[in-house]
Chain A
Amino acid sequence: MRFIRYIAIIFMITTLLSGCLVIGKNKEFQPFDSTELDKLVPGQTKATEVTEIFGAPSKVVELANGNAYVYKRTVTKGTICWLVLLTFGNAEKQHDQLVFFFDLEDTLTHYGLSLDAEKAKYGFPD
């Protein structure tokens, strides 16, 4: 009788824990190289030189005193786990972003860099 109970419990646990796990990764790639930033001199570098080095921007935004060129690439990592009664889904999207600010004469005034794409991780919702 005890043996049957053990078998029943093991069967129940294995049934409840049976499931499926899926992991996936999406990448929106933009081939800019942040080490090239050393070549830029705010107050001197022109917008055309920036596009020669970094390629076409993902987005151009008109500002009150010039323009901003935005370069962006993203990494999304997703995890889905199906159990019998429970389903867990988790996705994290992080991006690398480079924003150049130009004045009305298209001269570089400032730039900002964020490198977070590598921080995207797989996991379960907390």
Chain B
Amino acid sequence: MDFRINSLLASIIVFVNVLLSGCITYQIAKYVEGDELIVPREELEVGKTTLEEALSVLGAPDRVAKVGLENLLVYERALLYRNRIKVGIPLSELIRGSFDIAAYGTLVRYDSLALFFNTEGILSHKTFEKGSSHPYLKTLFADKQ
């Protein structure tokens, strides 16, 4: 019985020692670029909304581009999440080198609103994708690209 307790205690001490020496680390990282994108559906009507109205409602676009005979305005917000776990056993005192194993998952999701305006400055079509509504783990491990 004493031997069992001592073994357990020794195991805990070794385990804690390994943890405290920085051999196991877990990292959580988040990066956000751009303000939250709120799309006022009623104020963006295809065939009716003008460029001036869109600019007054949404402000300056993040990107502008020429697409054929139309102008494209893109409003975008990027959200990056990364989780990383690293386990390392420093063996340099015993042998040359050490043992490290790490795993990480990074997911970047975009909330994007694309507005196409014709040369008269009228909204010809629009598209909105709220990437941030997709959950981190489910999206990261989904088979679908």
Contact = CB atoms under 8 A, between A and B. Distances in A.
Nearest to B31: A91
A125 B35 contact: no
B22 A116 contact: no
A56 to B, nearest CB: 17
B52 interface: yes
A112 B58 CA distance: 8
A100 B64 CA distance: 11
B60 interface: yes
Given A84-B20, A88-B28, A119-B35, A64 B119 contact: yes
Question: Is chain A's binding surface mostly helix, strand, loop or mixed?
Answer: strand
Interface string B58-82: 1111101111111100000000010
A1 interface: no
B25 A91 contact: no
Contacts of A87: 25-28
A80 B20 CA distance: 19
Given A63-B66, A64-B68, A85-B19, A114 B33 contact: no
A94 B25 contact: no
A40 interface: no
B30 A91 contact: yes
Nearest to B24: A85
A110 B51 contact: yes
B8 interface: no
B91 interface: no
Contact of B64 (A65, A70, A98): A70
A63 B64 contact: yes
19 contacts: A63-B71, A64-B67, A84-B20, A86-B25, A86-B26, A86-B27, A86-B28, A88-B28, A88-B29, A89-B28, A90-B30, A90-B31, A92-B31, A94-B35, A97-B60, A99-B64, A109-B121, A112-B60, A125-B28
Given A15-B20, A99-B60, A99-B64, 8 more contacts: A62-B66, A64-B67, A64-B68, A65-B71, A70-B60, A87-B28, A90-B30, A92-B31
